[in-house]
Structure 1
Amino acid sequence: MWGYRHVILIVLWLVYIINYFDRISVLTFLPLIRADLDLSHEQIGFAASIFFFAYAVAQVSAGYLADKIGSKRVMYLAIVVFTAVTFVTGLVRNYTQFILLRLGLGLGEGHHFSPANKTISDWFPKSEKGRATAFFSTTWAFAPAIIPVLITYIAAAMGGSWREIFFVLAIPGLVGIAILWYFVSDKPEEMLAKGRLSQEEYDYIKSGLVTADEDNVKKLGIGVIIKDPSLWLYSLQLFCLLAIYWGSTSWISSFLFEQHGFSLKTMGLLASLPYAVAIISTMLGGTLMDKVFHRTKPVALISFLAAIPILIYMGQIPKGSTNLLILMLILNGFFVNMVWGVIYAYPQMRYPKEVIGSAVGLTNGLGQLGAFISPLAAGYLVHKTAAGISYDNVFLMFAGFAAVAALVTFFLKEEPFVIKEDDGNKQEASASL
């Protein structure tokens, strides 16, 4: 049944695409930035990783602020900061400036995800969380699929310069601020009062939310869930997935440009392939969760186990084997990205909505440390052979992360978490549907 909750979801999707335009543009042009600023592979690896360190730190404060002052306000802050930093990136002249801007971009964009995820949690019942979260998750498939192609063609039309792109990207940021202000609210109650949300849809949404005794949850705060072992197992699972995704996303352009020797335009086209396929597989994963398995673990296991051999072989494909490379890029994009909607629906299904911002902020903050470590480690694993530069050890590392994620998945608990307060009165509040 179509409703205003889907309008909210589409706006969140569009605004997050704008977020991705900024970060993917930097990663796409890393080979050119490295040459322009005369940087080493190790320096580029650190520059790619330091963004995720700042991003990880920002997750915790973003989730807390979303619970305390509202998701919409925090997303406003995020968009203003990352739009300004992106514009200034076109002016960077040395390594120190580049690192400072990467930190600024990470802090800005890091305050965007948790509030967006909390908004989805507040607007969609359990029976739709897999598909809603999967649709939102296609942003990190759709954006990398179109952005490298679009910006490399624009850059080529501008004479091969990468700097002007970042000036242009300030415009979508302003558009994002406008549509967020007009269409989105933190709670369904606000749109019900404005007449944009029907009473029928409001009742449908509220009947399917994971909730608990609100006064008890507010009193205990994040303490209600930090003793849950599955919270930490889930954080490790997310750590591994983000290490694979952002490690490969950070280096895919350099892998194609250096190991396989493709031109700028061809590199941009091939770099987008895994993400074009991911749009389909991400929605498939969410649908399988909602309609077939009604659980997160089966889809996660399919994703991680299938990714292991694909990642192992990716870095060993001989130069000149373009058709084989294309096939592996497609398979990699399909299986690695199948799990996105499922993995980010997990906290929404397990924890009450009153603390979901803090839960997502904490777990995503810990998970983003994988995105910090992976590109940095990859910079040291790139090595020279008689045939040229090789990334085989880099993809072996990604396969190892997939194996750990598959193992951790077996031990996750999926039923709603029961909240207990041991204050002498032995009060108990159960997360329920």
Structure 2
Amino acid sequence: MTAAATRAAWTIVGLLWVVALINYLDRQLLVTMPGPIKADLRLGDEKFGLLSSVFLWIYGLCSPIAGYLADRVGKRRVILASLIIWSAATFASGLVTSFGGMLAARATLGVSEAFYMPAAVSLIVDYHRGATRSRATGLHLSGVYAGSVLGGLGGAFAEAFGWRPVFLVIGGLGVAYAVVLAIVFPSPPQDDLAEAPEDIIVASHGENAFRSLLSTPGFLLLLAMNMLDGAAYWPVRNWLAEFFRGELGIAPAWAGVYGPMTFNGAAFVGMLIASTLSDRWSVYTMRARALIPAIGFVVAAPCLVLMGAVDHIPVVLACVLVAGMSQGFLDANLMPATCTVVDLRYRATAYGLLNFAGTTAGGFMTYAGGMLKERDVPLGTMFQLAGGMIFVAGLLLFMVRPLGTRGLRRETGGAGSGVDAPENS
């Protein structure tokens, strides 16, 4: 890779890091300010849980379409349009006066944010091939956790300034950054980018993207794994602040710090560690992209079970730290692992399907948590269930076998066939 290509590759990561931060800051604000929002809009726990669930359901349903469009109309256009629309929806969240208005704002946020992540991670792996792939993906997604950590301060800001100004300021900043991004986005120096062993073409040019993906065993394992991960960790994220406040007696201003901020800060660190380990280990085996998050999940599972069984705050915090790090292990490696099992032309579509599986399952479990809480079932019980799901998700990751494990060759049966196939054993 030339110096110009290297600069462009890391510039893309830096620019999109800020977008990822805004993306998760916007979606996280709601769950870190439950008290004032519920009081102002007169909401119970079930309706408040529904606000997060509707976002996740719509986000998930739109994700496959978002990935498919990103593969076809251009990833830059999708990223810019997504950022502008979700920032406007965040701004509108600060103006609503009813449950219906907030529900509409969260639904719009779900549609628009769904289009960002498949396009962004696919664009990054287009630039970073091989030795920097997990680090680039991890650094970009560290913006996700930086935004989530900042979102954890929402309760403190709401007490100081009110919850509405927080939405208004963050939404306005997002629109302003979209203008900056439109000006400075670099053009891709495609001819300077070297191929990586993971970059495979396994389908004929006439094959449908969805048919190709859903007939690939390795991708189906990742799909099932991500559904379990979403069902486990989305409700943990969304209810941690309420868990610390309502069940462990932490003050509202600190509940977001103890819960989402701790989880997401640990994920941030875990992502940086896992991305470096994965890039180094992948030199010897491409299975590293799946094995590292698998190990993280198996270690985290008993911590989630313990977290729901004790009320000793230092122990609970330690468990939250381990669980958060395991999520970071996956986030650094989900797209690189996907690259080892899917056709390179369908990466954004693949990530969209993964998002669909994870977020829709997470939405159902978040809503279920609210319903159970109103029926006096403690949130700790849901966290213990999450531990079981994360353990199974880890086992599925151990089963993923990259298509390129034995290397790939370019078929030479016809000029311009452009099809890669596994070498014979």
Mapped contact 2:35–2:252 kept (Cα < 8 A):
no
1:414 Cα deviation after fit: 1.6
- 1:388-407 maps to which residues of 2 (within 5 A)? 390-407=378-395
1:111 Cα deviation after fit: 0.8
**Structure 2 letter corresponding to 1:152:** G
Identical positions, percent:
22
Secondary structure of 2:404's aligned partner: coil
Q: RMSD of the TM alignment (CA)?
A: 2.8
- 1:237-386 maps to which residues of 2 (within 5 A)? 237-271=225-259, 272-292=261-281, 294=285, 295-318=288-311, 321-382=312-373
**Structure 1 letter corresponding to 2:310:** I
| Correspondence for 1:139 among 137, 143, 147 | 143
Cα deviations across residues 54-94 of structure 1 (Å, max 9, x unaligned)?
10122112111111110011111211211111111112222
Cα deviations across residues 29-67 of structure 1 (Å, max 9, x unaligned)?
123322322222222222211111110122112111111
Kindly indicate whether residue 70 of structure 2 is the aligned counterpart of residue 79 of structure 1. Answer: no
**Structure 2 letter corresponding to 1:286:** S
**TM score, norm. by length of structure 2:** 0.87
Which stretch of structure 1 is more off in the superposition, 42-51 or 207-216? 207-216
| Correspondence for 1:12 among 7, 10, 16 | 16
Mapped contact 1:231–1:363 kept (Cα < 8 A):
no
| Correspondence for 1:233 among 217, 221, 228 | 221
Mapped contact 1:86–1:170 kept (Cα < 8 A):
yes
Which stretch of structure 1 is more off in the superposition, 395-404 or 173-182? 173-182
Mapped partners of 1:227, 1:219: distance in 2: 11
Paired position in structure 2 for 1:197: none
**TM score, norm. by length of structure 1:** 0.86
Mark the CA change 1:214 to 1:392 in structure 2 (over 3 Å): closer, same or farther: closer
Paired position in structure 2 for 1:101: 105
Mapped partners of 1:185, 1:372: distance in 2: 36
Kindly indicate whether residue 413 of structure 2 is the aligned counterpart of residue 429 of structure 1. Answer: no
| Correspondence for 1:45 among 24, 45, 49 | 49
Mapped contact 2:20–2:147 kept (Cα < 8 A):
no
**Structure 1 letter corresponding to 2:196:** G
- 1:120-159 maps to which residues of 2 (within 5 A)? 120-149=124-153, 151-158=154-161
Secondary structure of 1:3's aligned partner: helix
Mapped partners of 2:409, 2:238: distance in 1: 39
Secondary structure of 1:351's aligned partner: coil
Secondary structure of 2:176's aligned partner: helix
Mapped partners of 1:432, 1:14: distance in 2: 38
1:210 Cα deviation after fit: 4.8
1:307 Cα deviation after fit: 1.2
1:405 Cα deviation after fit: 0.4
Mapped partners of 2:202, 2:329: distance in 1: 34
Mark the CA change 1:101 to 1:212 in structure 2 (over 3 Å): closer, same or farther: same
Mapped contact 2:307–2:315 kept (Cα < 8 A):
no
Mapped contact 1:31–1:254 kept (Cα < 8 A):
no
**Structure 2 letter corresponding to 1:5:** A
Mark the CA change 1:347 to 1:397 in structure 2 (over 3 Å): closer, same or farther: same
Which stretch of structure 1 is more off in the superposition, 209-218 or 86-95? 209-218
Mark the CA change 1:182 to 1:216 in structure 2 (over 3 Å): closer, same or farther: farther
Mapped partners of 2:392, 2:201: distance in 1: 36
Paired position in structure 1 for 2:413: none
Q: Which runs of 5+ in 1 are unaligned?
A: 190-201, 421-426
Count of matched residue pairs: 407
**Structure 1 letter corresponding to 2:269:** I
Mapped partners of 1:330, 1:340: distance in 2: 15
Mapped partners of 1:45, 1:337: distance in 2: 24
Q: Which runs of 5+ in 2 are unaligned?
A: 411-416
Mark the CA change 1:130 to 1:47 in structure 2 (over 3 Å): closer, same or farther: same
Mapped contact 2:267–2:328 kept (Cα < 8 A):
yes
Mapped contact 1:7–1:183 kept (Cα < 8 A):
no
Mapped partners of 2:346, 2:205: distance in 1: 7
Mapped partners of 2:316, 2:231: distance in 1: 22
